[in-house]
Amino acid sequence: MNKRTFLPILAAAAAAVCLVPGPAAGQQDVVLTIRDGQPAISFALPPFAASESAKAAAEEVHAVLEADLKYTRIFSLLPKSYYAYIQTQNFKTIRFEDWQSINAAVLFTAEVSQAGNGELVLERNFYDVKSKRQILPGKRYQAKPADLRFLAHRMADEIMKSYGEKPLFTSKIAFVSDRDGNNEIYMMDYDGANQTRLTFNKTQDYSPAWSPDASRLAYTSYQQLTAGLYILDVYEGKRTPVSTRGGNFYSPSWSSDGRRLAFASTMDGNANMEIYAAEIEAKPTRVGRIKRLTFSQNSDTAPTWSPNGRQVAFTSDRAGTPQIYVMDAEGGNVQRISFGASYHDSPAWSPAGDRIVYVARVDNVFDLYIYSIRTQSVQKLTESNARNESPSWSPDGRHVVFTSNMRGGSQIWVIDADGANLRPLTSQGANKLPDWGN
């Protein structure tokens, strides 16, 4: 895909799946919540009903939605063989007793048909089987065949939001790749699909960081021979410099309100890196005052904002070796939180603000660890004889994406926050420095 065709396609993606008037449905009657430790919810996802011309599309949407729901580990999908025990699968008239008989707690149904303009129409319903009521009002979608994956991800997000969870499946992961000859910024879906190049600078670009609304990316670029800090409006293609005034700029991190951008730099002529925060205005992007937060004799790098915007975690070697520290948003009250190893780096604050994931080197092996703010305890997340670095949380705080060479080259991997379900997301070229946006 070339640069000219990319931006219109990307801008259209968010609007590609349209809601159209559908069958009348009552308001949401069932309120469900997810609690840690509760058994997985038994989920019935029977094959979607479809007209002859829409069967392949129905199967594609069903497969993507099924993979999304399995990924959550919140739901336990019923075996496909169970559906043979249902007397009728006429989704216009649901016999809830049949679904209870195969131990379904919730039921998701959909019908797919071909529209006259070549687009597809999908009608879906989501029920609580025991109460025989809808968890979500019925909805009707219309989408182009190329947008079916996005439609499935959107429906998965709606299911999760009905349980009070943050959307995950339409989120994007930004990362750096050299697959086209030099390090440029790319993005992909949460599952590694639709890997798309975003920058075309013919220079080295690093450290992408999503804004809270996932419309802009802050990143480092060597366009002026030294590293400068820029903001890219992903959907319009506009680039705004934050600062290119001397020195180097690394590790940008947005505050949760999108109004401040922390980064590490030598912009004041200092020999060592210090932490700064720039005031950012949106629509259009404007850069205001830049304030220096740290004044150390040693390097301070890798800032990450707490979700409430009151603190910044960062890496500093002020104690002789790289360690993790936390300070107030204005640079005061600095406290060290990492101990037990001579090297700690790359902190990332969880969306809920209760944990910080970081990298530690123990016996010359780099692994990810999670620090609990409440208990001040540490949990080892990865366990491999490899170099695991650059962690970033998923929007729901249930997963961590990171860089690893565990298969002999630098690639992007993802793992659940309890250490389960390790899987690679990239394979082409060398890939690193992921950031998971909303």
pLDDT above 90 covers a percentage of the chain that reads 78
pLDDT at 13 over 60: no
* pLDDT surpassing 80 at residue 357: yes
In 3D space, the residue among 69, 66, 63 whose CA is nearest the CA of residue 34 turns out to be 69
Say if residue 388's pLDDT is above 90: yes
Strand partners, 112: 50, 122
Summarised one tens digit per residue, pLDDT across range 256-289 is 999 999 999 999 888 899 999 999 998 889 999 9
Residue 5 in this model has a pLDDT that exceeds 70: no
Q: Using the 3D structure, point to which of 138, 162, 186 is the last residue of a domain.
A: 162
Average pLDDT of 28-50?
72
Q: Are both 177 and 151 inside the same structural domain?
A: no
> Which whole number is the average pLDDT over 78-89?
86
In a domain, 250, yes or no: yes
**Number of helices (H), then strands (E), in the chain:** 4, 31
Residue that terminates a domain, selected from 117, 142, 162: 162
Residue 176 has pLDDT above 60, yes or no: yes
153 and 224, same domain (yes or no): no
Residue 7 lies in a domain: no
Instruction: Determine the structural domain holding residue 336 and report its residue range.
Output: 172-436
Residue 12 within any structural domain of the chain:
no
Number of domains the chain is built from: 2
253, amino acid identity: S
| End position of a domain, from candidates 134, 162, 190 | 162
Mean pLDDT (the chain) is: 90
Instruction: Please tell me the chain's helix, strand, coil percentages from 3-state DSSP, rounded to the nearest 5.
Output: 15, 40, 45
Give the number of other Cβ atoms within 10 Å of residue 88's Cβ: 9
243: which strand partners?
229
Output the six-digit token pair for 180.
Answer: 């086209």
State whether 151 and 258 are in the same domain. no
How far, CA to CA in Å, does 368 sit from each of 40, 90, 100, 346, 411? 27, 49, 43, 10, 15
Whether residue 167 is contained in a domain is answered as: no
CATH number at residue 113: 3.40.50.10070
Same-domain check for residues 84 and 197:
no
Amino acid 110 reads A
**5 occurs within a structural domain:** no
Amino acid 88: pLDDT: 65
Pick from 367, 373, 368: nearest CA to 351: 373
pLDDT at 105 over 50: yes
